[in-house]
Amino acid sequence: MNPIIKLSDNAASRIKEIMSNAEKNAIGVRVSVKSGGCAGMSYVMEYSKEVNPNDELIEDKGVKVYIDSAAVMYLLGTEMDFKKEDFSSSFVFNNPNETERCGCGESFKV
């Protein structure tokens, strides 16, 4: 079975970096989606401080990513990458389920 999301090497090393600076009680990174943004849905990343029994756990390249159960159907097959550009750096979700993405890349529609 394929993982819900795959992490690129860049994303995994950035999560490791974030986790090394995180508060002690953070156990991983949690990804969810929320309504909003110009295209309808946006990705949310936050520290996970406790295991939510409904979350899906992805362990890849030495990091733990918890996926909100409500987000699973939107994220199936997604690759999570981290891009560093001259003026900004951010996590990028390459999601095959998207039918539309807003120009700023902050939100999407499936």
pLDDT one-digit tens code per residue, 10-58: 999 999 999 998 888 899 999 999 887 677 788 899 999 988 899 999 9
Q: What would the CATH number be for the domain defined by 5-109?
A: 2.60.300.12
The pLDDT of residue 23 is 84
Specify the higher pLDDT residue, 28 or 101.
Answer: 28
DSSP calls for 50-78: S--TTSEEEEETTEEEEE-TTTHHHHTTE
pTM of the model: 0.84
Report whether pLDDT(108) > 70. Answer: no
User: If 0-12 CB within 10 Å is exposed, 13-18 middle and 19+ buried, where does residue 105 land?
Assistant: middle
Answer whether 28's CB lies under 8 Å from 68's CB. no
User: How far is 4 from 45, CA to CA, in rounded Å?
Assistant: 16
83 secondary structure, DSSP code = E
> What are the helix and strand counts (H, E) for the chain?
2, 9
| Percentage of the chain exceeding pLDDT 70 | 90
The domain ranges of the chain are 5-109
